């Protein structure tokens, strides 16, 4: 449904995404794969949550999850939960496993 000109965005927007990291396995040098994967998550959130790269906060649990097997052996995809607050800050965390 389209917004009317006087209507503003909702205060918070919460979504779950599956971020593909397979390109991060092939593109960078082997010892830079985990760092490239984190930058891939950041670029994905900029594109899909319409935020600025400097306003994206990646939870340390997500960072640990990507780095848990070392810099060279990253997961091929990752399920994340993103929340955009009214001030533009986007918080990215691991999605809860059910």
pLDDT at site 48 = 96
- pLDDT, tens digit, 9 for 90 and up, residues 66-86: 999 999 999 999 999 999 999
Asked if residue 29 belongs to a domain, the reply is: yes
List all residues 6 or more positions away from 15 whose beta carbon is below 8 Å from its beta carbon. Answer: 48, 49, 81, 82
Total of domains in the chain: 1
**Spatial contact of 61 and 23, defined as CB atoms under 8 Å apart:** no
Rounded distance between C-alpha atoms, residue 49 and residue 81, angstroms: 11
Rounded distance between C-alpha atoms, residue 84 and residue 28, angstroms: 29
Domain that residue 86 falls in: 13-94
pTM: 0.85
Q: What is the CATH number of the domain that holds 46?
A: 3.10.440.10
The mean pLDDT of the chain is: 90
Asked if residue 2 belongs to a domain, the reply is: no
């Amino acid at each position: 449904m389209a917004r009317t000109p006087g209507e503003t965005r909702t205060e918070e927007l919460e979504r779950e995404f599956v971020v593909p990291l397979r390109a991060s396995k092939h593109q960078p040098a082997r010892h830079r794969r985990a760092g490239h994967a984190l930058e891939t998550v950041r670029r994905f959130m900029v594109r899909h949550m319409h935020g600025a790269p400097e306003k994206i906060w990646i939870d340390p649990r997500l960072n640990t999850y990507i780095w848990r097997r070392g810099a060279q052996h990253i997961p091929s995809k990752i399920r994340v939960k993103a929340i955009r607050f009214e001030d533009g800050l986007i918080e990215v965390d691991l999605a809860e496993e059910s």
